[in-house]
A = this chain, B = another copy of it.
Amino acid sequence: MAKEEKIFRPAARLPKGFRDWPGAHVRARQGMLARLRQRFELYGFEPLETSALEYADALGKFLPDQDRPNEGVFSFQDDDEQWLALRYDLTAPLARFVAEHYDALAKPFRRYQTGPVWRNEKPGPGRFREFVQFDADTVGTASLAADAELCMMAAEALEALGLKRGEFAVRVNNRKILDGVLETAGVDAADTRRHLTILRAIDKFDRLGSDGVAQLLGKGRKDESGDWTKGAELAPAQIEPILGYVTAAAGDFAAWRRAVGASATGLAGVAELEEMAALFKAAGFGADRIQFDPSVVRGLEYYTGPVFEAALTFPVTNEKGEVVQFGSVAGGGRYDGLVKRLKGIDVPATGISIGVDRLLAGLSARNAEAPETFDGPVVVLVLEQAQVASSQAMVQALRAADIRAEMYLGSSGLRAQMKYADKRRAPVVVIEGEDERAKGEVTLKDLALGSKLSAEIESAEEWRKGQPAQVSVPRTKLVEAVRDILARGRR
């Protein structure tokens, strides 16, 4: 024994910030991705898959929290000393792909992609280091119809997932308007750092309200935990017009026009949104699906025009016990400079990214507790090891009839096998004991009907006492009888 203990045994555990996904989640996600794919295909987007690893310099580093040094990207040196990085989103690899294959592509290039991305961040509640995104982008056009289409597609995709109008909102704004407001407020446009601090303050309007945003635009703000967030240090005369804009009514373009004052950039931004509004109207999308919202900012530095997000608006209870809107599940916008970085020519582009696992969490938060399901396979028990081939033939017959089925493959007795079937959420258990075999019969137990009794079964004897959820049929009628029970469960 002492010798045994000296064997090095690594601990079986996942690093923090990473997750395993069990069957129910994987199936739900597969179903959701299939619906999203179908919708995106309907809009003419083509699938693309790029690799998980890229050269770090080709990806660049365009992260929401770029201001935190040493964080963001998982990277390491290849054998030839070049730096490789795990993609942190699906946009940077798209820019690389477009720049690399520019001449061969049909332009505008419309593609969708789904897959995991990785962030080398300190993990925390709701903050993971691996998560799945679903992106659609149109590259190579300055047309605002491309941006408008992404917003409409996002709304339709959410409806295709079963959400009703009023349970979600696609919210649209324009970075040029924000720039115009800041210009009019006298904020130096060259000070990109302060610019970003201001945008992030506005982004928190939903959560912190006017007072909180005002603090973050000024000296700074102490949150409930006592942490101090340094502010943008604007003067009160600068803060006022910004707040005026942020609190303007949704879609009140006249008020927005006043807020940008004489700024040409700002006025261009308002005109762009008016153009998008006309497209939404022509396509039948009203304020019950798409809204213009001054507080939408999106954290990414590279956005240059329209920005948008999709949010679930129904209430959920957060970890602090507060009732809040579920919030953003997708975001995007126009980024005209990203391909230029690699290609050297102007390649205007716009895109949207759905947070797949977050959207899935939103959908399950919305749906009432699901009733107990028996969505596992039919389980064929094996009471005598010598009869394995017979059980095997039964499962094959069931599978040939497109019925999900498996034979119990362990070495335990009847009781443990019944527990196994329960745990597997089997709808039906098939039993061929000695008696049944002599009569050429099999016994079927309907677990959806009789699941509560199964834990109490002690012996094959007791089992054979007539139970309502149990039936014996000729072995030749196995498939038919199982199909009947499954059909009963579906009613």
Q: Which residues of B contact A118 (CB under 8 A)?
A: 52-53
**CB contact between A60 and one of B10, B49, B106 (< 8 Å): that residue:** B10
Asked if residues A54 and B15 are in contact (CB atoms below 8 Å), the reply is: yes
- Bound CA–CA A329/B329 (angstroms): 39
Asked if residues A53 and B130 are in contact (CB atoms below 8 Å), the reply is: yes
- Closest chain-B Cβ to A273's Cβ sits at a distance in Å of 15
- Bound CA–CA A464/B187 (angstroms): 56
Asked if residues B145 and A10 are in contact (CB atoms below 8 Å), the reply is: no
Asked if residues A407 and B42 are in contact (CB atoms below 8 Å), the reply is: no
Binds B, one of A171-179, A278-286, A431-439, A472-480: A278-286
A317 at interface by CB-CB < 8 Å = no
- Bound CA–CA A279/B322 (angstroms): 59
Asked if residues B283 and A392 are in contact (CB atoms below 8 Å), the reply is: yes
- Closest chain-B Cβ to A36's Cβ sits at a distance in Å of 12
Asked if residues B20 and A424 are in contact (CB atoms below 8 Å), the reply is: no
Binds B, one of A21-29, A217-225, A228-236, A292-300: A21-29
8 A Cβ contacts from A149-204 to B:
149, 152, 156
- Bound CA–CA A48/B402 (angstroms): 22
Q: Which residues of B contact A130 (CB under 8 A)?
A: 51-53
A141 at interface by CB-CB < 8 Å = yes
A463 at interface by CB-CB < 8 Å = no
Asked if residues A49 and B74 are in contact (CB atoms below 8 Å), the reply is: no
Chain A, interface residues (CB within 8 Å), range: 35 or more
- Bound CA–CA A57/B388 (angstroms): 38
Asked if residues B43 and A406 are in contact (CB atoms below 8 Å), the reply is: yes
A interface secondary structure, majority: mixed
**CB contact between A44 and one of B48, B86, B377, B411 (< 8 Å): that residue:** B377
Asked if residues B13 and A58 are in contact (CB atoms below 8 Å), the reply is: yes
**CB contact between A26 and one of B22, B48, B60, B116 (< 8 Å): that residue:** B48
* Known interface pairs A58-B12, A76-B76, A342-B9; A390-B282 also in contact (CB < 8 Å): yes
Asked if residues B10 and A23 are in contact (CB atoms below 8 Å), the reply is: no
- Copies of this chain present: 2
A328 at interface by CB-CB < 8 Å = no
Q: Which residues of B contact A75 (CB under 8 A)?
A: 76
A445 at interface by CB-CB < 8 Å = no
- Bound CA–CA A11/B19 (angstroms): 34
- Bound CA–CA A48/B19 (angstroms): 11
Asked if residues B26 and A49 are in contact (CB atoms below 8 Å), the reply is: yes
- Closest chain-B Cβ to A181's Cβ sits at a distance in Å of 28
Centre residue among A10, A111, A149 by max chain B CB count within 10 A: A10
- Closest chain-B Cβ to A76's Cβ sits at a distance in Å of 4
Asked if residues B14 and A100 are in contact (CB atoms below 8 Å), the reply is: yes
Asked if residues A12 and B49 are in contact (CB atoms below 8 Å), the reply is: no
Q: Which residues of B contact A302 (CB under 8 A)?
A: none
Centre residue among A51, A54, A279, A282 by max chain B CB count within 10 A: A51
Asked if residues B99 and A51 are in contact (CB atoms below 8 Å), the reply is: no
- Closest chain-B Cβ to A16's Cβ sits at a distance in Å of 9
- Bound CA–CA A424/B15 (angstroms): 44
A44-B377, A282-B389 known; 18 other A-B pairs, CB under 8 Å?
Answer: A10-B57, A12-B95, A14-B55, A18-B51, A23-B48, A26-B49, A27-B47, A42-B399, A42-B403, A43-B377, A52-B116, A52-B130, A74-B76, A106-B424, A107-B420, A143-B411, A149-B409, A281-B389
Please list the residues of chain A having a beta carbon within 8 angstroms of any beta carbon in chain B: 9-15, 18-23, 25-27, 30, 37, 41-44, 46-55, 57-58, 60, 74-76, 78-79, 82, 84, 86, 95-97, 99-100, 106-108, 110-111, 116, 118, 122, 129-130, 138, 140-143, 145-146, 148-149, 152, 156, 278-279, 281-284, 341-344, 376-377, 379, 388-390, 392-393, 396, 399, 402-411, 420, 423-424
